[in-house]
Amino acid sequence: MRALYPLGGWGLRAALGLGLSALTLFVSGAASAQTVADIAARRQCSTAGLEGISQQLAETQMCLRPGAFVTFAPHAGITLSSSRIHTYLQASARDALWAAAARTPLTINSAFRTLADQYVLYHSGACALAAQPGRSNHQTGRAVDVQNYSAARSALESAGCVWLGASDPVHFDCPGTDGRADAVLAMQRLWNLNHPEDPIAEDGQYGPQTASRLAQAPAAGFPIGGCQGPEPVLAAELALHGSDLEEDMTFEADYLACAGDSFSYWFELTNTGDTAWRDVSGSTPGESVRLTTVGGAPDPLLGVSSWSLNDSSNPEVDPVGGDCNTVGCRRVRFEFSATAPSAPGDYESRWQLADGAQPFGAEVALRFHVATCEPAGGSGGQPGAGGFGGSLAGAAGSGAGGAGGAGGAMGGGSSRGLRPANQDSSCSVSAPGVGSLSGLGLAASGVAGLLWLGRRRRRGA
């Protein structure tokens, strides 16, 4: 680049000091312009109205070199000064930016730019510091303009970015390779696909032919995009799921809960496709990914029907990232806090990823058996833990203190267990024959069986 100062604050004062006669981020008349040259002819330091052609050029450039770019926002410590900023950088530049943002919050005025963006900023005559098209490091995905450059300079330089200097104080070149020719080649290829009757050389060199065709390019974009080849693949598989509740050993549900209890559960998914997932309300595949309920009805435990990636462990799920569930990894964990309903019964939480309105990947679900619980423990023994031990003590305790004590010792701990108040619906073990030897025998058998099965194990991690 070079600097594109935002409206307001220091940026406006600096822009006026540099003699910028017009500075606009939002232009109401942009929709009436038809070509890239028309946008430049407004004589305003703004890329408003170029959204269509700019997005096509960005996509074409990325198709020329798959994997060359990653997104750097949203991310902690990074604020964008305009919604028109392309959030693409080379991975090395992104890593440097994130490292700097961990030390000092950054406000980004500009990052990756397409050839059309640079054409308008340069030829408008309103941006005093705009480089000629084809010469800006912004086109290569390693340059950023930082509004709060003075406060952030030390952190950025420590992360490996180079300050351009007082002539362009907001501009930093971060680690990366020179890919400016790709930006030019993207325009040349896009033109040739849409104008086979008027081909130009696809050499990555910005000359009179490319400049002329870029000026004629429709600001809203060409009918044919520049990416050739298969459609992006959106795919997902379940990595694991779990809850902090006790597992249902009857296998009629996954977990057991007492009505009114608070608990958490989670689903962890792996990106097995070839397209990164984000939730930025974009129009390209993978840019509007959310976890949604199957069927669209609100979830019976959470009361909502969708969950944003931005509220998960990983807002940018990269299929070629590490085997982890934090930012930039290929897995993501959705974790929910819920309260068991007051009405006993079985409740299923079933979800599937969707990109916009299009679902993809495997359905994931957990079933919860909710019971009305009462304190467990018999008169002949100590209170048992929630579940089998306490219920066993309660069943046998009134007939024989020794049996009740065995049950209590088996359970130990809390006196609240999964023993329904209504005996018609039970999720605990009861020993019949209260006060009889047969009852005690069954109780002893129950204890032995439980010792063999072991404590209920939790699923997931």
pLDDT band at 139 (very low <50, low <70, confident <90, very high): confident
pLDDT computed for residue 12 by the predictor: 28
Report all structural domains of the chain as residue ranges with CATH numbers, in order of start.
9-194 (3.30.1380), 236-371 (2.60.40.10), 373-453 (no CATH)
Q: Please give the average per-residue pLDDT across 310-327, as a whole number.
A: 95
Q: Please state, for a pLDDT cut of 90, what percent of the chain lies above it.
A: 60
pLDDT of residue 385: 42
- In tens, the pLDDT along 240-288 reads 999 999 999 887 899 999 999 999 999 999 999 999 999 998 778 899 9
pTM of the model: 0.47
229 pLDDT tier (thresholds 50, 70, 90)? low
For residue 207, what pLDDT band results from cuts at 50, 70 and 90? very high
pLDDT per position as a tens digit, 72-86: 999 999 999 988 899
Rounded distance between C-alpha atoms, residue 96 and residue 108, angstroms: 14
Euclidean distance between CA atoms 111 and 121, whole angstroms: 14
> For 140-162, what is each residue's pLDDT tens digit?
889 999 999 999 999 999 999 99
Q: Measured between alpha carbons, how far is 83 from 64 in angstroms, rounded to an integer?
A: 25
- CA distance to 79, 154, 286, 355, 376, per residue, from 233 (Å): 30, 41, 9, 11, 53
Q: Tokens in use for 210?
A: 């490319």
pLDDT bin (cut points 50, 70, 90) of residue 67 is: confident
The per-residue pLDDT for 386 is 41
Nearest Cα residue to 103 out of 157, 147, 173: 157
